[in-house]
Amino acid sequence: MQQNSVLSDASPASPIADKARACIRLFQRLSLSIARSHGAVHGITMGQVMAYRMQFEIWTTSSGALQSVPATCFLDSRLSKDPKVSAMFIMVLDHVIEALEDVLAMASDGRKNRAGKSFLRIVMEAVFKPTSDIQKSFQSIPEFIKRLFKLSLLITQFPMAA
C-alpha cells in the first residue's frame, strides 16, 4: 500500500509530516483494536474510525503534509516563513494525537472510561444517550480535522509573503 511507504519516509526536519505520520499510525492501531473487539468498542464502530481516518488522509493529501521535498514536507516548506502558522498546525495535530491516544487507552482498558452522572445528565438520559470519555475524545477528532482543513484553506487563499 502506498501509505506504508509514506509512513517510512520520516524526516527529522519535518515536524508536520512526523506528526501526520503519527496520527496515521494511531488510526491504524485503533482500527486493529476495534477489529479485535468484533467491530465496535464502547459504541465506536470500525466504520466511524475509517471515516475519520479517510478525512485525515484526504487532508494530508490535499495539503501536501506528507509530500516530500528536499529535507522537509511540502506543507512545512510553504510555512517556513511563518512559524506561528506552522505552530498552529502542529498544535492541532498534537490534539489529534492526544485524542487518538486517549481513545486507544480507553478502548484497550488502559484508562478508565468514565460516564459522568451530573444531575443534568441524569435528567437528560431519557432524551439523549450518555456521553462517555471515550465518546468525547473520539468525537473531537473530526473537529480537529476540520481545523486542519480550515488552516490549509487559509494558507492557500492568503499565500505567505516571500
Whole-model pTM? 0.76
Count the alpha carbons within 13 Å of 123 in the hemisphere toward its beta carbon. Answer: 3
What is the residue type of 33?
S
Q: Residue 13 has what pLDDT?
A: 59
Q: Residue 119 has what pLDDT?
A: 52
Q: What is the largest CA-CA distance in the chain?
A: 58
* pLDDT tens track, the chain, 162 positions: 444 444 544 445 578 989 999 999 999 999 999 999 888 888 899 999 999 999 999 999 988 888 765 545 567 777 777 888 889 999 999 999 999 999 999 888 755 555 545 555 555 555 555 567 888 899 999 999 999 999 998 887 766 554
| Cα–Cα distance, 119 to 100 (Å, whole number) | 29
Three-state DSSP state, 59: helix
On whether the CB atoms of residues 155 and 79 are closer than 8 A, the answer is yes
On whether the CB atoms of residues 137 and 99 are closer than 8 A, the answer is yes
What is the residue type of 8?
S
Q: Residue 33 has what pLDDT?
A: 92
Task: Report domain extents, the chain.
Answer: 2-156
Q: Residue 135 has what pLDDT?
A: 87
Task: For the beta carbon of residue 94, count every other beta carbon within 10 angstroms.
Answer: 14
